[in-house]
Each structure stands twice: as structure tokens, then as C-alpha cells.
Amino acid sequence: MKNKLIFAAIALPFLVLCLLIVRAEYHVRSGEQWMFELQGYDPRDLLRGHYLQFNILYDWDKEKNECSSGIDCCLCLIKNSSPVKTSVAPKVHKSSCASARSQCDGYILSSKQNILNRYYIPEKNAKRAESLLIKARAKQQAYLQVSINKKGEPAIVDLIIDNQSINELLKMEDPSD
């Protein structure tokens, strides 16, 4: 009996961790993929711990702003349908979540959008990643790839620099590998 309790005490946290990983992976794979341009770097404060911090440059539709309460507001995403694509980013406006669910190509719950302002980088790659991001942003070639599920919950998929994953760029440029 004692062995079973010890096994359960060890196995339960491991099982919970595995379930959380599976849930996160399902969220990323089942959601629709969106690209957002990045902006607003402060080179003195871009790197905090193991995270690159940035802001998303939303392509705001200034003619539409249908929600000001903040409580039940969502960011309504409309796919860029211009034949001359100057940006891969969707048009964005605030809308009630009920309206966004039925009238938008995708939506983000306003309460969940704050998770889209930082990207985890392993410490050994931090300075190179920061440099790559600053250079790409100067050329307007820095994008955040986001998966948004049907509940309007976003999850970061990747940081795209000059049309490549930052992780792939870091592997190519790592002289120690």
C-alpha cells in the first residue's frame, strides 16, 4: 500500500504536466494561424529574464470601434483581402465578443491579449536573439505567429524574423553547435 502511495505521489504531478503539454499542443495545432507585425522595442529593456518583450503592431480599422466597455470586448480580426498585400497582418477593431464570434474571421479575447507581448528564449541565445529582433524590426521583417482557438484564446507559435523561425536562425548562427 505504501509503495502505491509513493508511486501515486510521483506519477500524479508527472501526469498533470504531460496533460498540460498535450493541452497546449492541441491549442496550437487546432487554432487558426495569424501573423502580427512587431513594434515598440526599447533596446535598453528588450530582454527581461529569458523573454524578448515587444508590442504587436495592430492594423487598426479606425472607422470601426464597436466596444468601449472593456468587460466583454474582443479584438475582431478581419483577414487582409487586398490584392496587393502590403501587410500580412489582419485588420483589427474592438467589438463585443458576441459580435466578434459571428462577424469576424477570428477574434482575441481582450483579457487574453497580454500574453502576446513576450517570447521565451533560452538564456544562451538571448543576446543574439535580441540583436536579430532589433535588425529585423528595423527592416519591418519581425512577425509573431499566433494560433487562436475557437474560444478567442491566443497562443504564440513562433517568432518570425526575415521569413524564418527565430529558433532556426539561432541554430544556424550558433558557433558552438
pLDDT along the chain (177 residues), means of 10: 73 77 69 85 53 85 74 87 63 90 93 87 84 87 92 92 90 61
Q: What is the pLDDT of residue 55?
A: 86
Q: What is the pLDDT of residue 177?
A: 46
| CB-neighbour burial class of residue 164 (10 A; exposed 0-12, middle 13-18, buried 19+) | middle
d(CA 36, CA 94): 16
- Alpha-helical regions (H) of the chain: 2-30, 97-103, 126-138, 166-173
User: Max CA-CA distance within the chain?
Assistant: 69
Its pTM stands at 0.75
Q: What is the pLDDT of residue 140?
A: 87
Q: Which residue has the cell 524578448?
A: 52
Q: What is the pLDDT of residue 34?
A: 92
Q: How many domains does the chain have?
A: 2
Q: Do residues 53 and 105 share a domain?
A: yes
Q: Do residues 7 and 46 share a domain?
A: no
Q: Do residues 22 and 94 share a domain?
A: no
Q: Which domain holds residue 24?
A: 1-30
Are the CB atoms for 74 and 105 separated by under 8 Å? no
Q: Do residues 152 and 115 share a domain?
A: yes
d(CA 17, CA 122): 20
* Residue 89, phi then psi, degrees to nearest 5: -70, 145
Q: Do residues 39 and 12 share a domain?
A: no
